[in-house]
Structure 1
Amino acid sequence: MENKNYGFGTKAIHAGNKKDKTYQALTMPIYQTSTFYFNDCEEGGRKFAGEEEGYIYTRLGNPTTSVLEQKVAALEGAEDCVAVASGIGAVSSIFWTMCKAGDHVIADGTLYGCTFAYLNHGLTRYGVEVSFIDTSNLDEIKKALKPNTAAVYLETPANPNLKIANITAVSELVHNYKKEIMVVCDNTFATPYLQNPLKLGADAVIHSGTKYLNGHGDVIAGFVLGKKDFINQVRLFGLKDMTGAVMGPFEAFLILRGLKTFELRMDRHCDNAMKIANYLEQHPMVDKVFYPGLKSFEGYEIAQKQMRKFGGIVAFEVKGGRAEGIKLLNSLKLCTIAVSLGDAETLIEHPASMTHSPYSSEELKEQGISESLVRISVGLENVEDIIADLEYGFSCLK
C-alpha cells in the first residue's frame, strides 16, 4: 500500500495486502500449512540463521497471518504487530517478554477478569511483584513506581465500568521517572478506530482480536503492537518460546474478512451505544450509567481528548441490586446473555458473576464493580429494537 495518507476505512481494506501473482486471487488465500519447503539445504540454513527472510514453520510466521499483522499495525500506527491465538495469549506473551524474576509491575486494579487473574495469581508465582492501583490517579502511580518497575499496564476504557486513564499523562510520568519502563495499554474496547495509545505516548498496545477487530463472534485471537525491535522479541521469545499461542491461518483469514467492514461497523456500534446510554441515563430504574460519551461520566473530559468516538460498550447499575439486575437479563428477548463483545449481536452480561468472577467480593467493591452492574455490548441491530427490548426487561421488574 503506497499511500500512507489513505483514510482509515481504506487502510482497513487495503493495508498489508499482497497480490497473488500465481492465480490472481483478489482475497488473500489461506496458507493452511504447518511447514514450508526450502529449495536447498543452504536456503534452509540461511533462513534459520536469520540471514534470509522467508517462511519456515507457521509457529514462526505464515503469509496469511503476516498480511493481517501488517494491516493491524497500519491501523494502530505501530511499527510492527504480532498476531497470537487469544487476548490472554497477547497478555501473557508480552509479560513474559518484558519481565523476569525480581521485577515489579504496576497494573490498574480494574481489568478484564482473566487478565487480573493472570497478574494477581499467575505472574506473581514466578517472582514478579504486582501492585494494583488506580492509574487514573497520577499520585498513586508516583507512589507505586520503583527502581525495578518494568511495566505499567492499564485498560482505557477499562472492563467493565469504562474507567478512563489519561494515556499521555501516565506515559509522561512513567517515562520521566525511568524511560525504560514499558507503558502497555489494552485498547480492545476503544479499537484503533477510536484511540491510538502509541501516538499518545504508550510503548505497546494489546488487543483481543476476538472482539471488534474480527467483529463476527467466530474467532479467538489477540495482537501485540509496538516498535519493531520489541515486537520481534515478543515474536521470538514471548510467543515462540514461552506461550506458543500461535494464531492459525484460518483465523487470520476470518479477521481479514471482518476488517473490510471495520469502520462501518464501529460507527454503527458507537452511534447505537450513545443512544442507549442516553436512554438508560433517563430511566427511573437505573442508578448510574457508565459511558465515556456522557457528560455525567467521570472520565468524559479525558475521553473527549484521546478518543474520536466513545465505543460500543455501556455499563449501568440497576436499582434494587444484584437480583434485579439478573432478573432484567433473564427477561430480555433480543439481547443475548453472553460474555465477549464487539459482535454484530447485542450481548449483555453480569460482570460480578461472569467476566469478573476472578475478583473477590472485596476486590469488586474496591474497583467500583457493583453487584448490580450490567455490561452491554451494543450490537448492530436497529437501535429502536434494542431499546424496546431493554424497556420490556425493565417492565418485568415492576
Structure 2
Amino acid sequence: MKIETIAIHAGNHVDPHTKAVVQPIVMATTFERDADGGYASGYQYSRSANPNRDALEKVLAQLENGVEAAAFSSGNAAGMSVFQSLAPGTHVIAPDDMYHGLRNQAKQLFAGVLEFDFIDVNDEATLRAHIKPNTGIIWVETPSNPLLKITDIKKVVAIAREHNIKVVCDNTFATPVCQQPLSLGADLVMYSSTKYFGGHSDLMGGALITAEKSDWWTKIRAVQTMGGAVPSPMDCYYLVRSIKTLPYRVKGHVHNALLLATFLENHPAVEQVMYPGSASHPQYEVAKEQMILPGAMMSFTLKGGQEKAKKVVNALKIFTQATSLGGVESLIEHRASVEGPDTKTPFNLLRVSVGLEHIDDLIADLEQAMA
C-alpha cells in the first residue's frame, strides 16, 4: 500500500461487537483474567499494552516500513528509553546541532553513566576519529534542529557497519512522508509524535520504530513496559486519527515552505535561509538524494542581529511566537533564547514551522514585520 492508504487503514479496525468503523477508546487500566488465570485477550494492565496503543504502534511501524514500533508519552521519553537500554559506559556519538532538550538530557541525566561526544557527524574524518571500542550508537538528526543540517544517512550507516555500531535517526523534522531512514539503513527511528503526527499542537507523544526485532529492541521494549512512560489511550486515539491526514497535511506544509523560502531568499533584510529544499543549502544534493520531500521546517538569519530578530517576531500577526512545530498553525521562534547559555545557535536566527494558512497571508505577514 502507498503511504496515504497506510495512514488511513493501518491503525484502525472495525469494532467486532458494535461494528463501529472507527476503533473505540479503551480507557480501562486493567483487564479481566480468564478462569485459568491467563489473559486470552492479550491485555493485562494498560502500562504494558492497550488496544489504542497497539493500533498506534501498528500504523507507525507500517509508515516507516519497520517491523515494530514503541509509543511513548513524549519524544524525550522515547530518546531516554534508547539511552536507558544501553549498558553503562557505552559511548554515544551525537551531532553538534540537535534538539537541545535531548542534548541536555544526555549531558545532565546520563553524565557518568554513558559517554557522549557531540561532533559534526557529516565530516567523515571527524566521525571516524571519534569512534572508540565502546561506541555503541551513532545518533543522527536530519534535518537538524535548528540549523537544518542534512546528514548523509547512508554514509554514516556504512561507517557504523564497519564497527558494528547501531545508527539511530531522529526523523521528527521530516516525518516518513519526507524521509524514511530505515530504508536508508538506519537501525532505529525516533520521533516526537507531538509534532507532525499530532499535527494540531494539542497532545504529546514519542515513538521509536525498529528495523528488526533484536535483543536491543527487546531491552527498549522492557524500558517502555517497566518504566511506564507510555501515552494515554486518549492520546493514542487522537494520534491515530491525526495520522490519517498526515500525508496530505505534510504535502501542504511543504508546498508553503518552498514558496516561503523563495520569498525569504530574495528579501533584502534576510542574511541567510536554511532550508533543505533550497538550492542554496550546502547539502542540497544530499537532501535531494535521500529525502522524498524537503520538509516544512526552516531557519533564517536577519541582518541587524538579535535586536532585529526580536523586533520581527514581535511584529508578526499570523505567525505565533511559540516553541514546538508541526501544527497546522505557523510558529516562529527566536531559538537561541530558548536553548540556554551554552547555545551555538546564532542570535539573529529565527526558526519557522510553516503551517497550512494561505501562503499569500504568511508572506504578507513577514513582509510587514520585516519592513
Name the TM-score, length of structure 1 as normaliser. 0.91
> Residue 13 of structure 1 aligns to which amino acid in structure 2?
I
Offset at residue 330 of structure 1 (A): 0.3
Is 2:235 the partner of 1:239?
Answer: no
**1:1-398 matches, cutoff 5 A:** 6-44=1-39, 54-97=42-85, 99-125=86-112, 127-176=113-162, 178-179=163-164, 181-226=165-210, 227-229=212-214, 230-236=216-222, 238-241=223-226, 243-354=227-338, 356-357=339-340, 360-361=342-343, 364=344, 369-395=345-371
What's the CA shift string for 1:250-272, capped at 9, x where partnerless?
Answer: 00111111111111100100010
Instruction: Please tell me the root mean square deviation across aligned C-alpha atoms, in Å.
Output: 1.2
Following the alignment from structure 1 to structure 2, what is the Cα–Cα distance between the partners of residues 347 and 119? Answer: 27
Following the alignment from structure 1 to structure 2, what is the Cα–Cα distance between the partners of residues 390 and 41? Answer: 66
> Residue 122 of structure 2 aligns to which amino acid in structure 1?
S
Following the alignment from structure 2 to structure 1, what is the Cα–Cα distance between the partners of residues 245 and 13? Answer: 19
What's the CA shift string for 1:71-116, capped at 9, x where partnerless?
Answer: 011001100000000000100011111x122211111111111011
Offset at residue 278 of structure 1 (A): 0.5
* Structure 1 unaligned residues grouped into runs of 5+: 1-5, 45-51
Offset at residue 18 of structure 1 (A): 2.4
Following the alignment from structure 2 to structure 1, what is the Cα–Cα distance between the partners of residues 89 and 73? Answer: 28
Offset at residue 16 of structure 1 (A): 3.8
> Residue 327 of structure 2 aligns to which amino acid in structure 1?
D
Following the alignment from structure 2 to structure 1, what is the Cα–Cα distance between the partners of residues 180 and 171? Answer: 8
What's the CA shift string for 1:177-207, capped at 9, x where partnerless?
Answer: x22x210000000000111111101110000
SS of corresponding position for 1:386: helix
What's the CA shift string for 1:52-88, capped at 9, x where partnerless?
Answer: 7711111101001101100011001100000000000
State, as a whole percentage, how many aligned pairs show the same letter: 39
Conserved in 2, the CA contact under 8 Å of 1:108 and 1:153? yes
> Residue 132 of structure 2 aligns to which amino acid in structure 1?
K
Following the alignment from structure 2 to structure 1, what is the Cα–Cα distance between the partners of residues 36 and 357? Answer: 56
Following the alignment from structure 2 to structure 1, what is the Cα–Cα distance between the partners of residues 241 and 217? Answer: 24
Offset at residue 41 of structure 1 (A): 4.2
Conserved in 1, the CA contact under 8 Å of 2:13 and 2:21? no
Offset at residue 42 of structure 1 (A): 3.0
Following the alignment from structure 2 to structure 1, what is the Cα–Cα distance between the partners of residues 363 and 283? Answer: 25
Conserved in 2, the CA contact under 8 Å of 1:80 and 1:231? no
Conserved in 2, the CA contact under 8 Å of 1:82 and 1:231? no
Aligned length: 369
Name the TM-score, length of structure 2 as normaliser. 0.97
Conserved in 1, the CA contact under 8 Å of 2:13 and 2:22? no
> Residue 166 of structure 1 aligns to which amino acid in structure 2?
D
Residues 53 and 134 from structure 1, CA distance in 2 versus in 1: closer, same or farther, beyond 3 angstroms? farther
Offset at residue 40 of structure 1 (A): 2.1
* Structure 2 unaligned residues grouped into runs of 5+: none
Conserved in 2, the CA contact under 8 Å of 1:150 and 1:182? yes
